[in-house]
Structure 1
Amino acid sequence: MHILKSDGRQVAFDGERLTRSLRRAKIDDATVKDAVEHMTKMIRPGSSTQQIHDRVLHFIAQRDSIGAARYNLKHAMLQLGPTGFPFEMYLGKLMEAYGWSVQVGVTIPGMCIEHEVDVYGKREGSKNRAVEAKYHNTAGGRTDVKVTLYVYARHLDLEKRDPNCRGVLITNTEFTHDAILYGECVGMKMKAWNYPQDEGLAKYIEQKGLYPITTLPQLPRRTAANLLHDGIVLSSQLCHLSREDARAYGLQDDAFDRLQQEATRLCTVDGHGSSPS
């Protein structure tokens, strides 16, 4: 059975891949089994991955609202836009959780020119990180080789002035084939949603339970947009808001209490995870 990906390619439906995605969302085995069996019966040739995702999400949400929110992580990241600034703020919070001291939106001098850096991180025992955050708000958006070329050029200029500085490229979706080929050829530090394998952005989010506020289905979009504008990007940050703060964003007390409960459950993790290099 072939399905249609967001970039227009046709691929075979992979029940094992769906199983892995659901298990990463900490959904119980019985629900995972039922969901995969349900989708295997429901899909038709030419069904889009978006249609499949929506159907799986609806099925899971009826049994496990928090599991459904975790499963919806990748799509929630697409809702951080339309600008790239919330994604930059989000990456800053993610890096802080792994022990980095960060600055967002800074200018760093290279040997030849100054460079606007989305996220600049320092951590004892590691090289400084000058991060280019490439945000896409559509599932089919991919970061191409032109981006890897200019990020590597920036890396070289920064490294000439400060040998302890390393350029990094991070995207919330995927890289094109040529972007990966070039990056691997020159030894560039790159992270996409599932790249490198078992070391992608998704893994580091899930290990720390750092889910964006857009993961919470009951949070109104306009409210989410206002929160993001003010730098509140993590669901866990909602746990530290007061009722007075919440009212300023248009959230009534009862709705806010439920939202905080959901945010607390969503962000609970079993362990602390390893540290990204």
Structure 2
Amino acid sequence: MTNAGPDIIKTSGEKVKFSFTKLRRSLKKSGASDAIVSAIINEIKDELYQGISTKELYNRAYAMLKDYRGAYASRYSLKKAIYELGPSGFAFEKYVAEILRINGYKITLNPILQGKCVTHEIDIIATRDSGRHLIECKFHSEEGRKCDVKIPLYIKSRFDDIYAFEKSHEHDKGWLVTNTQFTQDALSYGKCAGLKLLSWNYPEEGSLKELIDKSMIYPVTSSTILSSSEKQFLLDRGIILGSQLLNKDFLLDHSGISEERKKRIISEFRNLCNKELNA
């Protein structure tokens, strides 16, 4: 099988060449075996046509993974699950905070810091060893939107106002985290200004997607069984992570879920958070 394929249409409207290599890589990250991945690729290969959308390809691969095992589909649909954390963005902040916490950071959510000119509410302060990291999260609930250069410019000016008041920030580092992508200008500015940028696929090593896969922290919106209203019911009660739901599974009773579905949901999240899924 050659890697070349037809032109496909991304969510942004951009036309790109389909890549079997990228599809195989994304399917493998779901935890599916080589045999399952090959079977799905062979089936999708016969369904490709010029101008097919990435959304249609994703839906087809998702459906086939779900037929094999729900946890595979949940991992494959992780990016979509994060979009469902909206619209306010607060759930995304808490989600990022939990990822950092499991990676050894001490976390403070939404502190108020004094700047030289005004006070600032910061999304997250993360500390580890002698370093303090001021972190702002930019959440987009619409697929295809990018974080342009205006956002890091604004965030950097806020951090600079705080640093000007504190006068000493030798070990500090400012971060901007988004669930989508940065424009090239935003990336160039971040690098030049010393602002750490973290997005779904940036940087190449240590991206948000990579941190989530490594940490095995999945949001409740990853479920293939819960309905949209049931997911929102849990989010409204502060349940952001699948692991939190496992510790408070009585909330499933409160939302009117049957005992049989409750067992399936609990099993799904236990499998999802298990690093050793058997194919």
Q: TM-score, normalised by structure 1?
A: 0.92
Partner residue, 1:157: 161
Q: Does 1:136 align with 2:140?
A: yes
1:170 aligned to 161, 168, 177, which one? 177
2:58 aligned to 34, 38, 53, which one? 53
Q: Does 1:185 align with 2:189?
A: no
Output aligned runs, 1:212-231, within 5 Å: 212-231=219-238
Report the residue type matching 1:150 in the other structure.
Y
Q: Does 1:251 align with 2:244?
A: no
Partner residue, 1:264: 270
Report the residue type matching 1:60 in the other structure.
L
1:22 aligned to 20, 27, 33, which one? 27
- 1:76-108 superposed Cα distances (whole Å, 9 cap, x missing partner): 111111221110111111111112221222211
Task: Find the residue that maps to 2:99 and give its secondary structure.
Answer: helix
Task: Find the residue that maps to 2:52 and give its secondary structure.
Answer: coil
The number of aligned residues is 268
Sequence identity (%): 32
Cα distance in 2 between the residues matched to 1:91 and 1:231:
14
Q: Does 1:106 align with 2:140?
A: no
Deviation larger for 149-158 or 249-258? 249-258
Partner residue, 1:62: 67
Partner residue, 1:273: none
Partner residue, 2:248: 241
Task: Find the residue that maps to 1:211 and give its secondary structure.
Answer: coil
Partner residue, 1:13: 18
Cα distance in 1 between the residues matched to 2:172 and 2:148:
23
Task: Find the residue that maps to 1:83 and give its secondary structure.
Answer: coil
1:62 to partner: Cα distance: 1.2
Q: TM-score, normalised by structure 2?
A: 0.91
Cα distance in 1 between the residues matched to 2:172 and 2:205:
25
- Residues 70, 224 of structure 2: 8 Å contact kept: no
Q: Does 1:200 align with 2:200?
A: no
Distance 1:8 1:242, change over 3 A: closer
Report the residue type matching 1:30 in the other structure.
A
Report the residue type matching 1:135 in the other structure.
F
Cα distance in 1 between the residues matched to 2:216 and 2:42:
28
- Residues 207, 269 of structure 1: 8 Å contact kept: no
Cα distance in 1 between the residues matched to 2:149 and 2:78:
26
Report the residue type matching 1:27 in the other structure.
A
Task: Find the residue that maps to 1:13 and give its secondary structure.
Answer: strand
1:131 to partner: Cα distance: 1.2
Task: Find the residue that maps to 1:170 and give its secondary structure.
Answer: strand
1:226 to partner: Cα distance: 2.0
Q: Unaligned stretches of 5+ in structure 1?
A: 271-277
1:242 to partner: Cα distance: 4.2
- Residues 156, 195 of structure 2: 8 Å contact kept: yes
- 1:175-195 superposed Cα distances (whole Å, 9 cap, x missing partner): 111111111122210100010
Cα distance in 1 between the residues matched to 2:215 and 2:253:
29
CA-based RMSD: 1.5
Task: Find the residue that maps to 1:190 and give its secondary structure.
Answer: strand
Cα distance in 2 between the residues matched to 1:85 and 1:22:
29
- Residues 73, 224 of structure 2: 8 Å contact kept: no
Cα distance in 2 between the residues matched to 1:228 and 1:191:
24
Partner residue, 1:85: 90
